[in-house]
Amino acid sequence: MELKDGTLLQGGKYRIVHKLGQGGFGISYLALQSGLNRKVAIKEFFILKQTQRLADGRNIVNPTPEAQDFFSTFLKKFIKEARTVARLEHPGIIPIHDIFSENGTAYYVMEYIEGGSLQDAVICRKKPFAEDEAIGIIRKVAVALDYVHSQNVLHLDLKPDNIMMRPSGEPVLIDFGISKHYDKAGRQTTNTLGGYTPGFSPIEQYDANAMGTFSPAVDVYSLGATLFYLLTGELPPEPMALMQKGFPGMGNRVSGHTVTLLKKAMSVQPENRMQTMAGFLELPAEESSPAAVADPVREPVADDRMTYPRALIERLAESKEYKEAYRMCLANISRGFDVDYSESKSVELMEIIKRGKPKDIMFEVLLVAFCALVGITLFILYILISK
């Protein structure tokens, strides 16, 4: 599937040493740039489970005209995003040296960082980072992200795997594969494929159509989740868990100031979150000793105005958490405003709200609740009987 070791690109300018890794839309290689005799990293656009390599071991093909159209569309976006990132000049962002088309696809060439990722560092040390050490890393990443945001770009895939650590200990942001660029009015100018990483993505990224306007709060959440991971060594809770159980306790080894910042950064509702990197930039270089009073085990974050995205309800249903999914549906309907629930009944409810007929609202709510209860009950009985 990948290019063979020793493959030459650009007429011998680059020689593939070996494959570094592969994701859903690309293969990364370690390569040698012959003219400068230096190691570089090269990313090849390649769609997993669709794109195929021909017998020559170089050129690629897509199996159907529809697949080729899909490939061509996102190949253009791949090239455009690479050019966008190439314009980001900052020591905390991976430099892109070159971009070219070959073998029926496109490649971009980056600096190769000898050190591993932040994720590798967490695994190797087998214990959480000390608070001052974790804060030192996060502050530097926040500086880089603050610059990225100043250029109207969102990273959208921030996690320990996408933060490389130089041998000097300096963090470097990589993999802008699903990043988006926005104009001065905050409107999206690129349309890359969306995606989310459990534990590190905020709730709005679970909706592929929710990133149409510029919102640094998305990256704020992911950076907060990354700090949580460094301090605990545990995967951060998903938004669903935060809504159900509240922010997890962190014991007394983390200062109260940092815990407060984490809760603010990882607020489920975007409007309740920090909107810039300022909170991370204001973290002291060395935290004072942890607060004398331990952080409460749980602190609920949901409030009476919270609505539940359809994607979250669907995931619960797929996991057979029928009771919780049903509760969220009823909660959305009963609140009546900002309903993220696609059934026709909720649309009717919104129309009733606009017309200002509270009696009709209550009747509709009770009717929908009754019908939903009957439907869910029959469905659960069917599941139990089928077992």
Q: How confident is the model at residue 308 (pLDDT cuts 50, 70, 90)?
A: low
Statement: residue 84 has pLDDT above 60: yes
Statement: residue 383 has pLDDT above 50: yes
Question: What is the model's pLDDT at position 309?
Answer: 57
Statement: residue 15 has pLDDT above 70: yes
Tokens 């990589």 sit on residue: 174
Statement: residue 166 has pLDDT above 80: yes
Statement: residue 294 has pLDDT above 50: no
- With 0-12 / 13-18 / 19 or more C-beta atoms within 10 angstroms meaning exposed / middle / buried, residue 102 is middle
Q: How confident is the model at residue 344 (pLDDT cuts 50, 70, 90)?
A: very low
More confident residue, 334 or 225: 225
More confident residue, 288 or 195: 195
326, two tokens: 């049903």
Q: How far apart are CA 254 and CA 289, in angstroms?
A: 8
Q: How far apart are CA 123 and CA 129, in angstroms?
A: 11
| pTM of the complete model | 0.69
Q: How confident is the model at residue 59 (pLDDT cuts 50, 70, 90)?
A: very high
Question: What is the model's pLDDT at position 387?
Answer: 61
For 195-234, the pLDDT digits (tens) are 678 899 998 888 766 666 768 899 999 999 999 999 999 9
Mean pLDDT of 243-262: 90
Q: How far apart are CA 67 and CA 54, in angstroms?
A: 16
Side-chain-facing half-sphere of 334: CA atoms under 13 Å: 13
Best mean pLDDT range from 180-184, 243-247, 327-331, 335-339: 243-247
Q: How confident is the model at residue 183 (pLDDT cuts 50, 70, 90)?
A: low
Q: How far apart are CA 260 and CA 95, in angstroms?
A: 34
DSSP conformation class of 342: -
More confident residue, 274 or 358: 274
Question: What is the model's pLDDT at position 190?
Answer: 52
Tokens 């400068």 sit on residue: 36
Q: How confident is the model at residue 251 (pLDDT cuts 50, 70, 90)?
A: confident
For 113-160, the pLDDT digits (tens) are 988 899 999 988 888 999 999 999 999 999 999 999 998 888 888 999
User: In angstroms, how far is CA 266 from the centroid of its own chain?
Assistant: 13
Nearest CA to 190 out of 329, 81, 32 is that of: 81
- Phi and psi at 269, nearest 5°, equal -75, 125
Mean pLDDT of 86-100: 93
Q: What angle do the packed helices 217-232 and 131-150 form, to 10 degrees? A: 160
Summary mean pLDDT of the chain: 79
Statement: residue 363 has pLDDT above 60: no
DSSP conformation class of 386: H
Mean pLDDT of 18-32: 92
Give, in degrees to the nearest 5, the angle at Cα 242 between 241 and 247.
125
% of the chain at pLDDT higher than 70: 71
Question: What is the model's pLDDT at position 313?
Answer: 59
Coil/strand/helix, residue 105: strand
Q: How confident is the model at residue 295 (pLDDT cuts 50, 70, 90)?
A: very low
More confident residue, 129 or 293: 129
